[in-house]
Amino acid sequence: MARRCGARLGRRRCPVTEPRSAPVRTRGRRPPQGDPVVDRAFALLAAFDAGHRSLTLGELSRRSGIPTSSTLRLATRLQAWGALERGPDGRFAIGLRLWEVASLAPRGQGLSLSFNP
């Protein structure tokens, strides 16, 4: 008669009938975990608009659709780089460094010349 996995040893896991507790990792590759971090960082920045120039952590989380713990982690990294600033009231706002980078974007000079006589 065939022995069932772990029947005699008690604690031993049966590789055929029991699911693995952790995903299998191939060397050097991470398991998929949803959106790439850069997409989530852009979602945080996109949460701001003319009507929402500063946001609390909860507002930033809701408007971006990112869980609060991930929002805090990403917002802290963006704050360290200067893309976000955090005021004394704890609200986040677009940081000066992001404005500096945005100012480097090419302007539509040809378009503005076509409207000026």
Residue 117 lies in a domain: no
User: Helices (DSSP H) in the chain: which residue ranges?
Assistant: 37-46, 57-64, 68-81, 96-102, 109-115
> Which CATH number do you get for residue 93?
1.10.10.10
Q: How far apart are CA 70 and CA 45, in angstroms?
A: 14
Number of domains in the chain: 1
Per-residue pLDDT of the chain (117 residues; tens, 9 = 90+): 555 555 555 555 555 554 444 444 445 555 456 689 999 999 999 999 999 999 999 999 999 999 999 999 999 999 999 999 999 999 999 999 999 998 898 875 454 555 555
How far apart are the two ends of the chain, measured CA to CA in Å?
96
pLDDT at 106: 86
Residue 12 lies in a domain: no
Containing structural domain, residue 91? 37-104
pLDDT at 116: 54
pLDDT at 29: 53
pLDDT at 70: 96
pLDDT at 107: 77
